[in-house]
Amino acid sequence: MTPSRQAHLDSLRGIAALIVVIVHYLAAFYPHTVFGIGGNYQQHTRWESITFFPPFGLLTSGHFAVCLFFILSGYVLSYSYLGEPRRTQNLLAAIIKRPIRLGGLVWVSIIVGSLFWYSGLFYNGPVSNLTSSQPWFSHFWAGSFNPSSFFVDLATSSFSKGNAYNPPLWTIKLELYGSMMVYLFLLLFGQSKYRLLIAIILLLVFKDSLYQGFWIGLIIADIIKNYTHRISLELSNTTYCLLFILFFYFSSYPHYANQEFIKSTIYSFLPDDQGFGGGYPMLSAVLIFVLIASNNKIKGYLSLPVFQFFGHISYGLYTMHLLIIGSFSSWLFLRLNTLLGYNISFIIAISIGFPIIVLAAYMSTKYVDNPSIRLANYIENKINRIHTALLIKNLYNTKKFITKRST
């Protein structure tokens, strides 16, 4: 079964997107849960400290979710090519279609963000004054909207500058570049018997960046596809329990807090992971990916319809959520805060805002992302047809030449 048909992978991507949504809600309204002490961040309630203990820290582990996205991409993009006969045509088509597949929601979310910004519909600035989410929430959409810069950025730099209009898009740039690196690797080394060694070397080369996630995913894909006949992925129940404990511990690591604050938590004895790619969140992403890949029961749970639904809309969920948090949820919180108080206002804001985010994700998936996928597939099919036609023509000309020579 190819990874694209493995339901649990889509569900895992959906869960990661949900974690990002939760992290950004908490970072905007209860910044202490994410950043600890630092900047202008303040603790509003006593319960906020619970996020610095496993497993509750998983709710604020946005960096873990991003690392998981990249591992999933490296795995899915490479699985069907590793160790197979060279398919240069398919890989070249995949390189061409990748920006189109990713670009639909990038462009639409940039346009939506720019319209909100131009219309003054973002209320993150006033909210950050109340919630003390500074500098994180306050620096988005700061200053006046510049129409001329917007049109230039939309036309020429959507992937590199799109995060100015929709902040989460910074990861989509990495997704695009990482995908290209994976495809180029497959073109050059996908059939090489030394490809695993080369991938490990590249992992070490990129150890200081999040691109390491793509190489980890590719390495895992190669091992699962081509080496599981030599090694067993079966783990004992005790091993599973120990690995899950390690996963919850490392996934709850307060990656966004400063080192001074981390020294006051249960993670004080761990070495600083700053500057080392994904750090402990990347380690936890590897752990959960391997645990799920080696356990059919967990795969079954992840194949439930509710997880599949969020997996299906995960890209829309990721690209649209912060636009709604910064606009509608922030506006509603401001309106309610003077009447109902801080905590009740947040509960109402997230209770109404989250369904709106899900609806926006569903609509953007249906009317933007799915058409983008169809367009990308159409272009790929066109390239394949042109290649096939040229191949047939060359064969015909060769046969005609040989026949002429023989006569």
Residue 404: is its pLDDT beyond 70?
A: no
Mean pLDDT of 291-316: 91
CB neighbour class for 134 (10 Å; exposed up to 12, middle 13-18, buried from 19): middle
CB neighbourhood size of 216 (10 A): 26
Q: Which pLDDT value is given to residue 230?
A: 54
Residue 1: is its pLDDT beyond 70?
A: no
Question: Are 61 and 25 in contact, with CB atoms under 8 Å apart?
Answer: no
> Residue 61 carries which side chain, given as an amino acid letter?
S
Instruction: State the pTM of this model.
Output: 0.92
Closest by Cα among 65, 34, 79, 96 to 213: 65
Q: Which pLDDT value is given to residue 401?
A: 53
41: left (phi over 0), alpha (psi -120 to 50) or beta: beta
Query: Where do the DSSP E strands lie in 194-289?
Result: none
Q: Which pLDDT value is given to residue 49?
A: 93
Q: Which pLDDT band holds residue 3 (cuts at 50, 70, 90)?
A: very low
Closest by Cα among 169, 57, 48 to 103: 169
Nearest-angstrom CA–CA distance, 169 and 295: 33
Q: Which pLDDT band holds residue 386 (cuts at 50, 70, 90)?
A: confident
| Cis omega (within 30 of 0) for bond into 3 | no
Nearest-angstrom CA–CA distance, 3 and 376: 19
First-to-last C-alpha distance (Å) of the chain? 51
Mean pLDDT of the residues in the chain? 90
Residue 392: is its pLDDT beyond 80?
A: no
Torsion over CA: 357, 358, 360, 364 (sign): positive
Nearest-angstrom CA–CA distance, 12 and 246: 19
Nearest-angstrom CA–CA distance, 110 and 162: 6
Q: Which pLDDT value is given to residue 334?
A: 97
Helix (H) / strand (E) element for 33: namely: helix 32-35
Q: 107: which residues sit within 8 A by CB, 6+ positions away?
A: 154, 158
Using a pLDDT cut of 70, give the percent of the chain over it. Answer: 91
User: Which is more confident, 389 or 21?
Assistant: 21
Query: Where do the DSSP E strands lie in 305-352?
Result: none
Q: Which pLDDT band holds residue 295 (cuts at 50, 70, 90)?
A: confident
The least confident of 73-82, 208-217, 355-364, 388-397 is 388-397
The least confident of 160-164, 315-319, 399-403 is 399-403
Q: Per-residue pLDDT tens for 257-276? A: 988 899 999 999 998 887 66
Closest by Cα among 209, 157, 153, 155 to 178: 209
Mean pLDDT of 298-319: 94
Q: Per-residue pLDDT tens for 29-61? A: 999 999 998 778 999 999 999 999 999 999 999
Mean pLDDT of 1-30: 86
Q: Which pLDDT band holds residue 7 (cuts at 50, 70, 90)?
A: confident
Strand, coil or helix: 194: coil
Q: Which pLDDT value is given to residue 397?
A: 65
Nearest-angstrom CA–CA distance, 376 and 94: 9
Closest by Cα among 172, 193, 183 to 66: 172
Nearest-angstrom CA–CA distance, 267 and 263: 7
Q: Which pLDDT value is given to residue 2?
A: 45
Residue 389: is its pLDDT beyond 70?
A: no
